[in-house]
Chain A
Amino acid sequence: MTQIHQSDVAIIGGGLMGCSAALFLRQRGMSVTLLETDKVGRQASGTNFGNVRRQGRPIFQLPLANRAIRIWRDSPQLLGSDVEYLQSGHIRVCFRDRPENIGKMEDYAALAREEGLDLELLSANALREKFPWLGPDVLAGSYSATDGHANPRLAAPAFARAAARLGASIVEDTKIVHAEKVGEDFRLTAEDGRQFAAPILLITAGAWAGKIAGWFGEEIPLTPRAPTMSVTEPVPYAIAPAVGVMTPDEVETVYFRQVARGNIVLGGSTRAQSYPDDYRSYVLPQNTMTQFQHLRRLAPALANLQVIRVWSGIEGYTDDALPIMGPSAKVSGLFHAFGFSGSGFQIGPGVGETMAELIATGATDIPLEHYAVTRFAK
């Protein structure tokens, strides 16, 4: 008979959501087993742009984002390692051809202030005085001094190591191929036959989570998409804030941030298709060229820099671009936290802490109604 590895909570998916939940659950004294198909943090959590920004999130998401920012600021002590979190600000700009975005920025800033997020609106002249590298097409911008960025390659692994130091079982190279509730326990079976059991199951499996939720009758359609990412050679540090664009157009939604070592991470514009069944995503060169074109418009001086690498990852998008977060509507003891639609990095630690609180105490102050799994029920 196969030995069954038992714990209080089993987590399927070792991205930032799962790894941070594992840490906070251990802090609350619950035993945790986290199961990851590959290595922790390899997919969306490790390949995203690295924006740690509250600005631009839906207003109703700001309490969650505020929770997360406290954890980011505390991360060196909490994790015992440096995930390169820099509170160096974030600016969101709009272009001359869409002046209506200024009004939208003002509306958003007013609502955000009520949630504790202070944004400074800057017109073109003031913007260029502060950030002279912005292109002439930039009309206005919204500056968030308390936003910043961090290193996605380091974050989820650091949470996992901290959780393991507290006694969590972080089990990598383990693909769960079957899961069902048997009596009081969720019984998980890995590809190699190993078995895991727990009375509580948390699904944080990113682009693969919709199918896993489907094992319990709650299949969520997720579109897997591949971000177009590039990075430059290291250059002298000149650009403090992360920079993004407010626009309805995906093709011109580009962003960049300079890391302390000097490289500039470039992201955005057209996303490609990704192939979660093969665990592969490819950057299409035509998308890289479009990305460059729009970046040149945003910050002309970038044109001189050499890009040394592109990469992509596998992100899971829901139909309304909002995550599924909260308890299952069908199976008691089952919880979901996935579908973050390319916007999960900043809130990630907050998601982990909130899910741990919900699981351990049955309740959380963070409003979750917008993320209910039932909104996709037929």
Chain B
Amino acid sequence: MDQVDQIKQGTSGSLRVLLFGAEATLLGTSEISVPAEEGIRTVGDLRNWLANRHGKLGPLMNQIRVAVNHRFAADDTPLGPDDEIALIGKVSGG
């Protein structure tokens, strides 16, 4: 089982969120775990939770998009423990 598979599965219904670039540097980690008891059901819930729980992300939240299973997702997209969730901040390829 590779790292991404482990991240996707999570544990006990928790959500695992992948971080990259400036967001990963800011929080000092490439992954956040959101406990099931936080009651996160949608992308919008996750965004609110992140803004409250990880205040450092606050100034960046308006430029962070959420990808679910490798696609950009709207705020009403439902989330589950089997989803691969990633925060996509300002990109800089090319």
| Genuine A/B complex | no
